[in-house]
Amino acid sequence: MTTMTMVKALNEGLRRVLEVQPKSLVMGEDVGRLGGVFRVTDGLQKDFGSERIIDTPLAESGIIGTAIGLAMRGYRPICEIQFDGFVYPAFDQLVSQLAKIPNRSGGRVRLPVVVRIPYGGGIGAIEHHSESPEAYFAHTAGLKVVTCANPNDAYWMIQQAAAGDDPVIFFEPKRRYQAKGEVDTETSELDLYRARTLREGRTATLIAYGPTVDVAANAAAAAAEEGLDLEVIDLRALSPIDWDPLFASVRKTGRAVVVHEAPGNIGVGAEVAARVSEECFYSLESPVLRVTGYDVPYPASRLEDDYLPNLDRVLDAVDRSLEY
C-alpha cells in the first residue's frame, strides 16, 4: 500500500498503461511539456516521448475526431479534455461517431478510446470550469461512463478503462485531485463497472459518486453521532449502473437519498430514484430523495459553497426521509 494524491494515482495508472500497451498514447491540450494543467500527465512526455504524449491544438472536436481515426487504425488513445466545460465542441464527435461507429459497423470496428474529463466544482474557478455534464454521456448508448472518488479507484479504474475495447468517458472530480489515500498497486479490488459499499447501515442508504462520495461519507459519520446508521454506496459507474447493490441496500434500509453535484432535473439521480422506486416499491418507507446542484447555471465562485451539496443538506434529506 502506498499513499498518493488522486493526481499522482492517475499519473501512475497512466504510466502503467503506457508501459504495458505499446499502442496506447495520451493526447490533449498541454498534456506534454506542461504535464497538464492539473499535472496529471506530468513527466510522461519525458519518459515516453512526444509521439505518444501529444500536445494538441486547442480544438476539442479535433482531439476526439483524431482519436477515433487512430483507434480505427489500431491505436488506443487516451484523450484529455482540459476542463469539463470545454467538452461541448467535441459533443458531435463523441455522441454521433465515437458512440455509434462500433454499432454502425456491426461490431467489426472497435474504438478503444478513453476520454478523461476533470469535472465538478469546488475549486473557485471561472465560468465553464466547474460543470457536471455526466448525464449527457450516460444517456448516450454506446458510451461507458465512470467516475473515481479516491486515489485507489483512480489508479485502477484508468487502467481498466484503457484495457477495454469500448469507448469510456472517464470523469475525474477535480476538487478531490489533492485528496490523499492508500493505493494498492498490486491488486484491483473491483471490476470497473461495479458499485462499492463504503459503509454498511440499516437506517437509510446514501447513494453518491465522484466528488460527493466524501460528502456522503462525512454525513454518515456525523449521523452516527446522533444514533443513525446510514449505508453509503459509491456508484463508480454511471453507465452501466450496477443496480443489484443499490436494490439490496434499499430493500434493507427502506430509505434512499441520492447525492450529486449536477443539477437535479433529469440527472443521474432522477434515473436512480426511478429505478429504485420501481424495483423496491414494497420495501420503501419513504420516497427516494435527491440532494443535488440547483437547476441554474453554475454560479460564480463566491457562491459555489451555497450551490454544492454539503453535509447539512444531506442530513436534512435524511431527516425528511425519516419523517414519513
- Which residues are marked as active site? 129
Which residue from 159, 154, 192, 172 is spatially nearest to 76, judged by alpha carbons? 159
Q: What residue type is 209 in one-letter code? A: Y
274: number of Cβ within 10 Å = 11
- For cell 512526455, what's the residue? 45
Would you say 209 and 235 are in contact if contact means Cβ atoms under 8 Å apart? yes
Would you say 198 and 217 are in contact if contact means Cβ atoms under 8 Å apart? yes
CA distance 236 to 324: 30
Which residue from 66, 81, 147 is spatially nearest to 111, judged by alpha carbons? 66
Residue 299 sits at φ, ψ, to 5 deg, of: -80, 175
Would you say 242 and 275 are in contact if contact means Cβ atoms under 8 Å apart? no
